[in-house]
Structure 1
Amino acid sequence: MTRRDVEFDAEGTTLRGWFYPAEGATSSAPVIVMAHGFSAVKEMHLDDYAAAFSAAGLNALVFDNRNFGASDGEPRQEIDPIAQVRDYRHAITYAIGLPEVDRSKVGVWGSSYSGGHALVLGAIDRRVGAVVSQVPLTSGYENIRALVRADFIGGFREQFDADREARGRGEAPAMVPVVDKDPLAPSALPTPDSYQWFTETHENRAPSWRNEVTLRTVEMLFEYEPGSYISRISPTPLLMLVAENDVLTPTELALAAYENAREPKKLVILPGGHFDAYVKGFQHSMVPARDWFLEHLAR
């Protein structure tokens, strides 16, 4: 397997990533389009998934979201979920133009925040032939209410309004840490497992990751409801991978969303918590995803 660096245009913004050609392919093969979740960059284990898909005879296109990692975009460290969904669609357009790719066989894979994007894409882009949504965000509103004390939420809204006015005056965006060692300190992802995974993965694999996002990122998270699209994915096949003890994108929210999906669909419960899927539970999350894509795209 020899991956190559790629870049493509997303309506004036250059996005960069890796293309993993399908191993053993003698003609065009399916492609899996992949991006990471909330603030994460592609070096944070997406290479492991892409390499596994490639070894199974699937092409894989992995890219950094706009404003993060190797991709361009301003303001840096700002996550606009609607723009990220649109960029997945630009990535699909780029991928199906590659000579190695069978343009009629496109899968999307997303995890955590981008797991929510995968749900939206499955509903709105009929070029997508199979969806894998891993430990997904399904409701920004309900997710924040599960993570943030009710008496803190009003303070967040005041900060959002003040930041909007400051940006209107031309001031720099307010920033907030992605994670903090103290789960009661202000951060976008206030859980101990978030702090551990991001800091360890940053140190060991992803020096380009930065522990900050714009405050408006949190406001847009509050407004994002990817689960509202889930009933519209059918007849595109949907696989949801839900961690049994997920406290970041709570298990019960993902399971409730899955109930609203229509056939064909499949649910796999992963052992452990939200971040176990990437490392010690990698085989538990990768194998069902790989097999789902092979079943629905490689025949």
Structure 2
Amino acid sequence: MQRRDIAFEAEGAALRGWLYLPASGAGPRPVVVMAHGFSAVKEQYLDRYAEAFAAAGLAALVFDNRGFGASGGEPRGEIDPVQQARDYRHAVTYARTLPELDRERVGAWGTSYSGGHVLVLGATDRRVRCVVSQVPTISGPVSSSRRTRPDLVPALLARFDADRDERFAGRPAATIPVVAEDPAAPCALPGRDGWSFFEGTRPFAPSWRNEVTLRSAEMAREYEPGACVARIGPTPLLMVVAREDALTPTDLALEAYNRALEPKSLVLLPGGHFAPYTGAGFEASGAAARDWFVRHLL
């Protein structure tokens, strides 16, 4: 396996990441385009998936989302889901220019927030021949309503309005922690499992920051990638769903899968939202994605 740094322009931002190539074999390689979820950076286990794909004869193009990690883009820490889905399309365009890669055999892998992005991508970009969506965001409004107590919603909406007033006046955007150790503290992704995941990756992902703009949370409440799922077919779709996922709720993912057209496949994993990244969860999720790409791209 070979890995080299890459960079490409995407509507004014330089997106940076890695290109993985198999160690042996001839000819342009099929490629899987990959990015991480809400605020996460490529060092938070995406290298493990890319290595698994490369070992099976696939190339992998991994990039940090704009405003995060090694990538450029301002403001830092801002997550615009529509722009991130668009950046996947820029990554596909870039991949198709590289001589080592087969421009007609491009797949897309996404997880959590980017699991929603690849549903949008699969429905809108027919250059993508195969999709793997892992523990995906399906409905921002529904997920947000389950994570926020109803009596706290008016105060949250008031914060969004106040932030708009401040930005309009030229003052800095408000920010919010991504995760919090205290279950009662305000944050974008509440829950002890989120805190444990992100804190546990700090030693090997030092560029990750526990902060996003408040506007990122507002945009998340408006995002409905599940609305695209019925338009993905006939592009092959694999969904990897965690049985006890409270962050991107399991029932929403299963309902979306039922609306998807063939060809499709579903893998159910034990555990919560962060289970697929490590241990037996990674062995299962990585193997399922690898086999799906091998089947449809090789």
- TM bucket (normalised to shorter chain) is over 0.9
Residue ranges of structure 2 left out of the alignment (5+ in a row): none
Residue ranges of structure 1 left out of the alignment (5+ in a row): none
For the 8 Å contact 2:67–2:77, the answer to whether it is kept is yes
Alignment-derived partner of residue 227 in structure 2: 228
The letter for the 1-side match of 2:226 is G
For the 8 Å contact 1:163–1:173, the answer to whether it is kept is yes
For the 8 Å contact 2:116–2:225, the answer to whether it is kept is yes
Query: Percent identity over the alignment?
Result: 61
1:26-80 deviations in Å (ceiling 9; x for gaps):
0011000000000000000000000110111001000000000000011100000
Alignment-derived partner of residue 256 in structure 1: 255
For the 8 Å contact 1:22–1:54, the answer to whether it is kept is yes
SS of the residue aligned with 1:138? coil
For the 8 Å contact 2:132–2:238, the answer to whether it is kept is yes
Alignment-derived partner of residue 210 in structure 2: 211
Pair 1:182 & 2:182 matched: yes
The structure 1 segments of at least 4 consecutive aligned residues displaced by more than 4 Å after TM superposition are: none
1:2-38 deviations in Å (ceiling 9; x for gaps):
2000000001210000000133220011000000000
The letter for the 1-side match of 2:227 is S
Q: How does 1:115-264 map to 2 (within 5 A)?
A: 115-202=115-202, 204-264=203-263
Alignment-derived partner of residue 112 in structure 2: 112
Q: 2-side partners of 1:47 and 1:169: how far apart?
A: 42
Offset, 1:155: 1.0
Alignment-derived partner of residue 51 in structure 1: 51
Aligned residues: 297
Q: 1-side partners of 2:135 and 2:158: how far apart?
A: 30
Alignment-derived partner of residue 276 in structure 2: 277
SS of the residue aligned with 2:57? coil
SS of the residue aligned with 1:99? coil
Q: 2-side partners of 1:230 and 1:248: how far apart?
A: 19
Offset, 1:183: 1.6
SS of the residue aligned with 2:193? helix
SS of the residue aligned with 1:288? helix
Alignment-derived partner of residue 28 in structure 2: 28
Q: 2-side partners of 1:268 and 1:106: how far apart?
A: 22
SS of the residue aligned with 1:98? coil
Q: 1-side partners of 2:37 and 2:263: how far apart?
A: 25
